[in-house]
């Protein structure tokens, strides 16, 4: 049984091979992307066992996703097939002056039909860590119930629950999103919001104030990801900013938060302190943004160890 279990949707990602509005793009590269499976893959590359719980359409895209995730060393024994709903897809847009968008085609996907009945309680009980994100409860009511049930099982078994809000306002109304995400944050041991997510959840412009407001809900620690500046670790004992690692050029920022989560969780599994775990997360996030795609830049263990033995926050990755 894996040490870390994550629950959520993974889709097929189409990345344009050129820049400009999608209506003018004719060629795409096919990849995979999903917050929870990204974390699992990141952990597997760092030498930890991880399992992914989800549903896929019984179609060619579903088989591609399963093969890709399993090929990265992640346990996929808890992935179930849906004969009636498709595997979700999404497209990235790259604009020459920055910006761009992500276009999702996931409504009614197989993963959105995940429910508590698809969970194996013993599989979750055996884990040391359960990973969830705010994307899963946004997909459907049954997905929300599934994540809630997984949290209850994990907490009863003494496993840590790590929650990344991963705000997606395209999926649900802001008021509902805020309420539900705060409910899950209150049940978490560790909450990993980005700066904007922390502000959205609390109304506090200052990351420290926002983190403190979330901490007051009950987590052991809140770690706010503040981009190139690194991360802010806040506990009942105080706060400490952990500097980030500058990169020569940000190629693709999508997936950096998942890479951070993988590094941070790896640090916890290795009994590092929260600051050292966040430093490992920062390094993994820096690697991730230098390569196109959600998982392609996630570092291998030997690679990240070599980097951290010589790196200071002023160093440049690769």
The question of whether 206 is a catalytic residue gets the answer no
Residue 315 has what pLDDT? 47
- Are 260 and 285 in contact by the 8 Å Cβ rule? The answer is yes
What does the alpha-carbon distance between residue 64 and residue 139 come to, in Å, rounded to a whole number?
Answer: 21
**Nearest of 72, 44, 115, 116 to residue 301 by alpha carbon:** 44
What does the alpha-carbon distance between residue 72 and residue 150 come to, in Å, rounded to a whole number?
Answer: 24
What does the alpha-carbon distance between residue 248 and residue 255 come to, in Å, rounded to a whole number?
Answer: 18
* CA separation, residue 29 to residues 14, 18, 26, 151 (Å): 6, 10, 11, 36
Residue in 120, 258, 276, 294 annotated catalytic: 258
DSSP string for 108-145: T-SGGG--GGG--HHHHHT-SEEEEETHHHHH-HHHHH
- Are 134 and 194 in contact by the 8 Å Cβ rule? The answer is no
In this prediction the pTM is: 0.93
Mean pLDDT, the chain cut into blocks of 10 residues (318 residues total)? 97 93 94 96 98 98 98 98 97 82 93 98 98 97 98 98 95 97 98 97 97 98 93 96 84 82 98 96 90 85 90 50
What does the alpha-carbon distance between residue 296 and residue 91 come to, in Å, rounded to a whole number?
Answer: 16
**Tokens (6 digits) for 144:** 């929300």
Which structural domains are found in the chain, ordered by start? 4-9+36-59+115-310 (3.40.1190.20)
Residue 312 has what pLDDT? 61
Burial (0-12, 13-18, 19+ Cβ within 10 Å), 188? buried
**Tokens (6 digits) for 148:** 């809630």
- Are 162 and 174 in contact by the 8 Å Cβ rule? The answer is no
């Amino acid at each position: 049984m894996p040490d870390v279990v994550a629950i959520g949707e993974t889709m097929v990602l189409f990345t344009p091979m050129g820049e400009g509005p999608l209506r003018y793009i004719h060629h795409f590269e096919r990849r995979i992307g999903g917050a929870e499976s990204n974390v699992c893959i990141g952990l597997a590359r760092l030498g930890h066992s991880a399992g992914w719980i989800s549903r896929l359409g019984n179609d060619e895209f579903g088989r591609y996703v399963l093969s890709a995730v399993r090929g990265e060393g992640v346990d996929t024994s808890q992935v179930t097939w849906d004969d009636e709903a498709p595997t979700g897809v999404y497209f990235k847009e790259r604009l020459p002056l920055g910006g761009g968008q992500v276009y999702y085609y996931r409504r009614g996907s197989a993963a959105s039909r995940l429910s508590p009945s698809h969970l194996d309680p013993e599989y979750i009980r055996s884990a040391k860590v359960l990973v969830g994100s705010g994307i899963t409860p946004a997909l459907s009511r049954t997905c929300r119930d599934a994540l809630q049930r997984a949290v209850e099982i994990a907490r009863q078994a003494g496993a840590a629950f790590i929650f990344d809000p991963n705000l997606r306002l395209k999926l649900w109304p802001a008021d509902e999103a805020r309420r539900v995400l705060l409910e899950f944050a209150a049940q978490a041991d560790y909450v990993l919001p980005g700066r904007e997510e922390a502000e959205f959840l609390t109304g506090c412009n200052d990351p420290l104030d926002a983190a403190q407001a979330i901490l007051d809900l009950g987590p052991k620690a809140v770690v706010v990801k503040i981009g190139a500046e690194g991360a802010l670790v806040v506990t009942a004992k105080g706060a400490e900013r952990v500097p980030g690692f500058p990169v020569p050029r940000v190629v693709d920022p999508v997936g950096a938060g998942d890479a951070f989560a993988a590094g941070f969780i790896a640090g916890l599994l290795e009994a590092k302190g929260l600051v050292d775990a966040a430093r490992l997360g920062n390094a993994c996030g820096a690697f991730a943004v230098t390569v196109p795609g959600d998982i392609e830049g996630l570092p291998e263990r030997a690679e990240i160890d070599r980097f951290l033995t010589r790196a200071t926050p002023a160093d440049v990755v690769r």
